[in-house]
């Protein structure tokens, strides 16, 4: 019998902060709390005030803040051995975080009690029950994280269960079974959670998994199938080592496919947006392949797949992407069909039909470019420009008269490269120069410096990604390279591509497209007023 609701407990700000390369400022943390609260998770575990002074500042800043959906959680350990809870500095700073909920972690693996914290098995049980009882006296909702529960259970089942009993005795509101080192298998998680659920029938059971075996999501799902109603994880999965259970996958898995409420129904469409927002705040790249919320999650490349999706979307899509705020994409590639291309053409000129001469010419032009090494799947702006050029719906915003790049070693000036550029706009020339780390950097700077004279709106544009791929790399330094550029003006993001045997020329082509595309979109905005 499946439950109708589970509590989602997000630890992006606590366990997530343990991930390599993650470092949150207090401002970052406040923004992430807001994003998760808007989405409607039940709990936000936001820090460990006992171990981290930055977290104390954060909890102070949170005092005046009212959350719409979530309860704020502070995380800390059971008291140290052989003292009382009120004399334990960490326990007291946990209290000072002034959150409605605390998560207390304690040992449930006998080996760890004797070999890591080095105390007796009995004292560890007292540490658990007394710390929890102390927190309950202070009016807290208490979640008990049974660290290494599964390993403990497999090594000494009786003791692991006693640790849970001690937590219940102390008054814990929820017993969370942790696969701390992330190595458990789904079938054993199911069996163990089921046994615990049967033994502690009236206490809420939670699950906390890690992804060291690549199965954190499945282990969480299996725990829910076995009776857990509280699921811990981090929203986009980052955490110590291989990460935590990915909540942006678990939520739609449960809510869309098992009809188990995790967040308010109307918030499901914000799953993708929230993932991208948190990735941006954390300053990491969200994997393209992330289930549900990744950029490629509903991207179709094989011609057969595209054909299948057009005939019946359930062919190659497990859900309708719009349910989670994501979208279907047909990738433009040598194996993609004509229909995809036609859809794109029609966005620019709706009157062009499948068999028309214009459509044929565009397809031929695209094939020719693909043969040269172009790939449009990551460069939709260049794709649009190619179609516009072919349709005659395009006029360049500037002309290049010349550029000259110089690099030398040893370098005479500081930066190693310098660029001179001369461009022409409406008959008026502008010549200027810039330096950079390497020729492409110098060229990018010089080009924008020259064009800003005519188009001040370019001052907001900057590049956010720059990728180089060598094609047929066995031809070595004379091989073709494909340069992919991602640009932004702070509002939208667009990508362009250039191919050449010369990396400078390939970069130049992509840079020009980036600027032309931006100016085109600005013009479209202005024209709209007159339509």
**Contacts (CB under 8 A) with its own copies, residues 193-222:** 211-215, 217-219, 221-222
* Per CB under 8 A, 450 contacts its own copies: no
Q: Quick one: which of 80, 318, 365, 424 contacts its own copies (CB under 8 A)?
A: 318
Q: Quick one: which of 308, 342, 389, 435 contacts its own copies (CB under 8 A)?
A: 308
Q: What is the spatial distance between Cα 123 and Cα 368, in angstroms, rounded to a whole number?
A: 75
Nearer to its own copies, 26 or 391 (CB): 26
Nearer to its own copies, 21 or 201 (CB): 21
Q: What is the spatial distance between Cα 54 and Cα 64, in angstroms, rounded to a whole number?
A: 17
Tokens of 319: 């859900």
The residues pairing with 17 across neighbouring beta strands, listed in sequence order, are none
Q: Least separation, in Å, of the C-beta of 349 and its own copies?
A: 27
* Per CB under 8 A, 407 contacts its own copies: yes
The residues pairing with 432 across neighbouring beta strands, listed in sequence order, are 421
Total residues at interface with its own copies (CB under 8 A): 125
Q: Quick one: which of 136, 291, 363, 425 contacts its own copies (CB under 8 A)?
A: 291
Q: What is the spatial distance between Cα 193 and Cα 226, in angstroms, rounded to a whole number?
A: 6
Q: Quick one: which of 41, 44, 458, 504 contacts its own copies (CB under 8 A)?
A: 504
Q: Quick one: which of 83, 199, 406, 431 contacts its own copies (CB under 8 A)?
A: 406
- Measured at the CA of 97, the angle between CA 95 and CA 98, to 5 degrees, comes to 75
Tokens of 18: 């343990």
Subset of 226-245 contacting its own copies (CB under 8 A): 237-238, 240-243
Nearer to its own copies, 204 or 234 (CB): 234
Q: Quick one: which of 16, 206, 325, 436 contacts its own copies (CB under 8 A)?
A: 436
- Among the candidate windows 131-139, 195-203, 314-322, 343-351, which touches its own copies by CB under 8 A? 314-322
Q: Least separation, in Å, of the C-beta of 196 and its own copies?
A: 18
Q: What is the spatial distance between Cα 75 and Cα 67, in angstroms, rounded to a whole number?
A: 18
* Contacts for 502 with CB less than 8 Å, ≥ 6 apart: 481
Nearer to its own copies, 122 or 408 (CB): 408
Subset of 65-104 contacting its own copies (CB under 8 A): none
Subset of 342-401 contacting its own copies (CB under 8 A): 375, 377-378, 400
In 3D space, the residue among 272, 252, 216 whose CA is nearest the CA of residue 35 turns out to be: 272
* Per CB under 8 A, 335 contacts its own copies: yes
Subset of 139-198 contacting its own copies (CB under 8 A): 148, 151, 180-183, 185-187, 190
The secondary structure of residue 52, as a DSSP letter, is -
Q: What is the spatial distance between Cα 502 and Cα 400, in angstroms, rounded to a whole number?
A: 18
Q: Least separation, in Å, of the C-beta of 264 and its own copies?
A: 22
Beta strands in 48-171 (DSSP E): 71-77, 101-107, 141-147
In 3D space, the residue among 223, 280, 245 whose CA is nearest the CA of residue 16 turns out to be: 245
Nearer to its own copies, 151 or 173 (CB): 151
The secondary structure of residue 290, as a DSSP letter, is -
- Among the candidate windows 67-75, 89-97, 263-271, 434-442, which touches its own copies by CB under 8 A? 434-442
Q: What is the spatial distance between Cα 405 and Cα 518, in angstroms, rounded to a whole number?
A: 25
Nearer to its own copies, 130 or 240 (CB): 240
* Per CB under 8 A, 444 contacts its own copies: yes
Assign residue 243 a region (left: φ > 0; alpha: ψ between -120 and 50; beta: otherwise).
left
Nearer to its own copies, 118 or 525 (CB): 118
Q: Least separation, in Å, of the C-beta of 529 and its own copies?
A: 33
- Among the candidate windows 96-104, 198-206, 461-469, 516-524, which touches its own copies by CB under 8 A? 461-469
Residue 174 has, within 13 A of its CA and on its CB side, a CA count of 27
- What distance lies between CA 147 and its chain's CA centroid? 27
Contact flags string 1-40 toward its own copies, x per CB under 8 A: -----------------xxxx-x-x-x-------------
Tokens of 234: 């981090």
The residues pairing with 44 across neighbouring beta strands, listed in sequence order, are 10, 72
Tokens of 512: 């020009």
- Among the candidate windows 39-47, 130-138, 195-203, 505-513, which touches its own copies by CB under 8 A? 505-513
- What distance lies between CA 285 and its chain's CA centroid? 6
* Contacts for 450 with CB less than 8 Å, ≥ 6 apart: 421, 422, 423, 430, 431, 432
Q: Least separation, in Å, of the C-beta of 354 and its own copies?
A: 20
Q: Least separation, in Å, of the C-beta of 326 and its own copies?
A: 11
In 3D space, the residue among 338, 326, 312, 73 whose CA is nearest the CA of residue 206 turns out to be: 73
Q: Least separation, in Å, of the C-beta of 143 and its own copies?
A: 18
* Per CB under 8 A, 251 contacts its own copies: no
Q: Quick one: which of 201, 474, 491, 527 contacts its own copies (CB under 8 A)?
A: 474
Classified as helix, coil or strand, 347 is helix
Q: Quick one: which of 3, 69, 195, 315 contacts its own copies (CB under 8 A)?
A: 315
Residue pair 444/505 in contact by the 8 Å Cβ criterion: no
Q: Least separation, in Å, of the C-beta of 255 and its own copies?
A: 12
Q: Quick one: which of 108, 129, 249, 496 contacts its own copies (CB under 8 A)?
A: 249
Classified as helix, coil or strand, 488 is strand
Q: What is the spatial distance between Cα 31 and Cα 37, in angstroms, rounded to a whole number?
A: 10
């Amino acid at each position: 019998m499946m439950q109708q609701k589970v509590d989602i407990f997000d630890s992006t700000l606590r366990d997530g902060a343990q991930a390599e390369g993650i470092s949150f400022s207090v401002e970052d943390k406040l923004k992430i709390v807001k994003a998760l609260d808007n989405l409607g998770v039940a709990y936000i575990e936001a820090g460990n005030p006992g171990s981290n002074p930055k977290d104390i500042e954060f909890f102070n800043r949170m005092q005046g803040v009212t959350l719409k959906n979530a309860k704020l959680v502070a995380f800390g350990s059971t008291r140290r051995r052989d003292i009382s809870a009120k004399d334990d500095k960490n326990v007291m700073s946990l209290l000072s975080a002034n959150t409605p909920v605390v998560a207390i972690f304690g040992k449930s693996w006998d080996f760890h009690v004797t070999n890591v914290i080095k105390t007796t098995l009995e004292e560890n049980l007292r540490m658990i029950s007394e710390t929890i009882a102390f927190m309950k006296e202070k009016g807290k909702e208490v979640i008990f994280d049974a660290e290494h529960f599964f390993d403990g259970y497999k090594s000494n089942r009786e003791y692991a269960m006693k640790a849970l009993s001690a937590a219940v005795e102390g008054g814990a509101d929820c017993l969370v079974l942790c696969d701390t080192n992330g190595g458990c298998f789904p079938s054993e998680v199911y069996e163990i959670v089921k046994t615990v659920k049967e033994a502690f029938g009236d206490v809420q059971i939670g699950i906390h998994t890690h992804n060291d075996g690549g199965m954190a999501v499945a282990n969480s799902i299996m725990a829910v199938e076995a009776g857990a109603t509280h699921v811990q994880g981090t929203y986009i999965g980052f955490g110590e080592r291989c990460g935590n259970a990915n909540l942006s996958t678990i939520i739609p898995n449960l809510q869309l496919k098992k009809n188990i409420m995790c967040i308010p129904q109307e918030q499901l469409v914000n799953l993708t947006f929230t993932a991208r927002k948190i990735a941006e705040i954390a300053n990491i790249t969200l994997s393209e392949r992330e289930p549900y919320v990744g950029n490629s999650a509903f991207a179709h490349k094989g011609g057969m797949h595209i054909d299948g999706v057009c005939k019946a979307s359930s062919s190659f899509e497990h859900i309708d992407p719009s349910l989670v705020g994501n979208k279907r994409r047909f990738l433009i590639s040598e194996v993609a069909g004509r229909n995809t291309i036609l859809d794109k053409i029609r966005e620019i000129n709706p009157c062009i039909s499948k068999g028309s001469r214009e459509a044929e010419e565009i397809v031929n032009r695209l094939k020719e470019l693909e043969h040269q090494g172009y790939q449009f799947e990551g460069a939709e702006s260049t794709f649009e420009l190619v179609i516009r050029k072919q349709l005659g719906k395009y006029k360049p915003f500037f002309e290049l008269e010349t550029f000259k790049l110089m690099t030398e070693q040893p370098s005479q000036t500081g930066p190693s490269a310098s660029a001179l550029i001369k461009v022409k706009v409406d008959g008026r020339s502008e010549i200027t120069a810039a330096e950079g780390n390497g020729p492409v950097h110098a060229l990018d700077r010089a080009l924008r410096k020259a064009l800003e004279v005519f188009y001040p709106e370019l001052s907001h544009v900057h590049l956010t990604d720059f990728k180089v791929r060598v094609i047929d790399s066995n031809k070595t330094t004379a091989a073709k390279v494909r340069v992919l550029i991602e640009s932004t003006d702070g509002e939208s993001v667009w990508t362009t591509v250039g191919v050449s045997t010369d990396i400078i020329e390939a970069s130049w082509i992509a840079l020009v497209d980036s600027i032309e595309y931006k100016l085109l979109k600005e013009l479209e905005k202005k024209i709209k007023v007159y339509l």
